[in-house]
Amino acid sequence: MTSRRYQRRVSPLERYSLVINAAYRYHVDGILEGEGEVDPRLLQAAVDRAAAANPAIRVRLRGWLGLSRWVDSGIAPQVRALPRSDWDGNSEQGAPYLDERLDPRRRGPIADVLLVPCRDGRTRIVFRTLHAAIDGRGCMHWALEICRALRGEPLQGSDSRLSDFDVQERYRAQIPDEAPTLPSNCMPVLRPAAAGSAERRGVRFIWRRVLLDRNVSQLLPKTAVFLADWARRREAGEIGFTVPVDYRGFRIHEMGIGNLTGYLRLTVEPGATPRTVVQQLNARVKAFADCRQFPGARLLRWLPVWFMLRQLRPKIDAVLHEAGPGLPSGGIVSMGTIKPEHYDFPGFKAARLYGIPGAVGKLNVVFVNTPHDVSVSFAAPAAYNHEGQLDALVEAYRQHFSTAVEAAA
């Protein structure tokens, strides 16, 4: 660990994430669920210690346009102990505190920790992080570091100053040329409320979580096929999903808790199988598709957030609810397998860790495996549930993957 003050430049993707957060809350939130009473003072002390070892969690936004940087403020995220709650951890219902937005434009924190004792007998600790500064893997690392600190163990620590843009620049020369293709017009998985209806006024995201009672292998490609088949029951059309690729231990050999994720897009043709989806995924990774910078990335660093937000607002409704080249049908995120006991600490026994999908796109699915089960979370604009469409999809998904016999992929 170096003693030099931590800072890293804001990448183009992070800059656009600031725009999304200004339009509607764009967080990466992880929830640690278990049993036991947690002393907020001890939790804050552990947060302080973990933040000292991982200064990227203490950053504030500084600078101007392309010179913007995330700079260590020296101030650890704060723990907020909330009153006993009826929240069950399966949706946003009963948890209004989750709607509060982290706002770096006011030089505010990019993370905090909510301690929520719940009336169902569970304690839920919510690690809220701003996606413009921290990605999903970074949030999981952050949560695990706090649990290590609560156990009095040595911390892994990280002072990596790399961003997703730095990794993409490193591999730029290795990305093969591709023939230009027509943009795909991916339709939504669910039918939204009609244009101009009350349900589509403004932007509000909702989320749902289900627990699969077994560990499902190759769940990512199986989910892609399930969702595509569900969409095509309604109508024919193009289906595609964004899939993140974690650079840590793959493209780079260092741990960072900032945005170190690349993205690639998969298409799911009629009749596709999990095997064909995996083959496409492997081919795209081999071609460094996750390292391709999106068009105009360099220019984006020099556009003010307010200007991009003004350009985005009139388009939000169409982009989120209609088929078009702007967004795929959704995103599918696998956070891998964890062992709940790694998140235990004195007085608290962890049952599981799961995430709230980022409020972005038409449908976002995130899952975390344990050796025995899988927590799967879905998020979508509220207009996709005006007649219970999202709820019906989530229940069908639970039934399909909880009871179906594993088929050979």
Q: How many CA atoms lie within 13 A of 10 on its CB side?
A: 30
Residue 257 corresponds to which tokens in the numbers above?
């808790």
Q: How confident is the model at residue 408 (pLDDT cuts 50, 70, 90)?
A: very low
Burial per residue of 304-313, b for 16 or more beta-carbon CB atoms within 10 angstroms, e otherwise = ebeebeeeee
Query: What was the pLDDT predicted at 107?
Result: 82
* Beta-bridge partner residues of 345: 348
Are the C-beta atoms of 326 and 218 separated by less than 8 Å?
no
Q: Report whether pLDDT(6) > 60.
A: yes
Mean pLDDT calculated for residue range 64-82: 95
Read off the pTM: 0.93
What would the pLDDT profile of 210-261 be if each residue is shown by its tens digit?
999 998 989 999 999 999 999 999 999 999 999 999 999 999 999 999 999 9
For 24, other C-beta atoms within 10 Å of its C-beta total 16
For 253, other C-beta atoms within 10 Å of its C-beta total 8
Percent of the chain clearing pLDDT 90 (strictly above): 85
Query: What was the pLDDT predicted at 324?
Result: 83
Residue 212 corresponds to which tokens in the numbers above?
């699969």
Q: How far apart are CA 15 and CA 165, in angstroms?
A: 11
Are the C-beta atoms of 391 and 378 separated by less than 8 Å?
no
- The full set of domains in the chain, from first to last, is 7-160 (3.30.559.10), 166-171+181-403 (3.30.559.30)
Closest residue by Cα to residue 217 from 30, 404, 357:
404
What would the pLDDT profile of 306-325 be if each residue is shown by its tens digit?
999 999 999 999 999 999 88
Q: Which residues lie closer than 8 Å to 5 by C-beta, 6 or more apart? A: 71, 72
What DSSP letter does each residue of 277-307 carry, written as one string?
Answer: HHHHHHHHHHTTGGGPPPTTHHHHTTS-HHH
Query: What was the pLDDT predicted at 409?
Result: 40
| Whole-Å CA distances, 345 to 54, 81, 264 | 20, 18, 37
| Whole-Å CA distances, 153 to 49, 58, 112, 148, 216 | 11, 21, 22, 5, 32
What would the pLDDT profile of 255-300 be if each residue is shown by its tens digit?
999 999 999 999 999 999 999 999 999 999 999 999 998 888 888 8
| Whole-Å CA distances, 328 to 167, 291, 342, 361 | 24, 18, 35, 8
The residue with greater pLDDT, 3 or 196, is 196
What would the pLDDT profile of 329-386 be if each residue is shown by its tens digit?
999 999 999 999 999 999 999 999 999 999 889 999 999 999 999 999 999 999 999 9
